[in-house]
């Protein structure tokens, strides 16, 4: 059985962490635990008003135990230099990944806050990034969780499950 640790950057709502814990343990047949929060890295870019993603992965790699996969969760908006924003990023060689809740919140787009929608989107992005840690690449099936989300619409179209082809590959790693 695999071990997955969730690491909040600063504070993440308990309800979201609990939802991820329960569902990730079922989906990956894994032991999922929650580590104490760590600080948000000082990678804020004033011009972009976003945080550079890589220092988040670096902070996670420093605390990772060799036998586990680590998923960081942050409320701040993340970017990599080549893209306008990212929902998440994985470093499969290091066993670590991070997701951002910022653009998963309806309120980011001026809409009414909706916790159910937020939780489901967060789960999809979490499964997607962990899928990379389990060795999966992007999948052409738009309903598969490993489909690349260019926009939030892509995230809303896909489910949080793996298509049969991705599922069969992941079973070899688990």
Return the active site residues. 129
* Min separation Cβ 143 and Zn ion, Å: 8
Nearest distance from residue 155's CB to Zn ion, in Å?
Answer: 11
The nearest distance, CB 142 to Zn ion, in angstroms, is: 10
Distances (CA, A) of 161 to 41, 67, 82, 125: 31, 24, 28, 11
Q: Which is nearer to Zn ion, 133 or 166 (CB)?
A: 166
Q: Which is nearer to Zn ion, 30 or 144 (CB)?
A: 144
Rounded alpha-carbon distances, angstroms, from residue 156 to 24, 33, 83, 98, 133: 18, 26, 20, 19, 22
**Residues near Zn ion, by CB under 5 A:** 139, 141, 144, 146, 163, 166
Q: By C-beta, is 7 or 139 nearer to Zn ion?
A: 139
Rounded Cα gap, residues 18 and 141, in angstroms: 29
């Amino acid at each position: 059985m695999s071990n997955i640790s969730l690491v909040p950057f600063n504070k993440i709502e308990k309800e979201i962490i609990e939802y991820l814990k329960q569902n990730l343990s079922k989906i990956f047949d894994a032991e999922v635990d929650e580590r104490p929060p760590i600080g948000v890295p000082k990678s804020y870019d004033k011009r972009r008003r976003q945080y550079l993603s890589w220092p988040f992965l670096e902070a996670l790699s420093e605390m990772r135990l060799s036998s586990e996969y680590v998923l960081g969760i942050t409320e701040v908006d993340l970017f990599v230099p080549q893209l306008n924003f990212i929902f998440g990023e994985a470093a499969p060689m290091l066993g670590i990944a991070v997701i951002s809740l910022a653009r998963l919140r309806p309120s980011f787009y001026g809409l009414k806050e909706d916790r159910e929608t937020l939780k489901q989107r967060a789960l999809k992005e979490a499964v997607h990034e962990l899928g990379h840690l389990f060795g999966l690449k992007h999948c052409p099936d738009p309903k598969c969780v490993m489909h690349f989300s260019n926009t939030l619409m892509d995230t809303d179209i896909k489910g949080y499950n793996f298509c049969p082809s991705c599922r069969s590959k992941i079973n070899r790693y688990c």
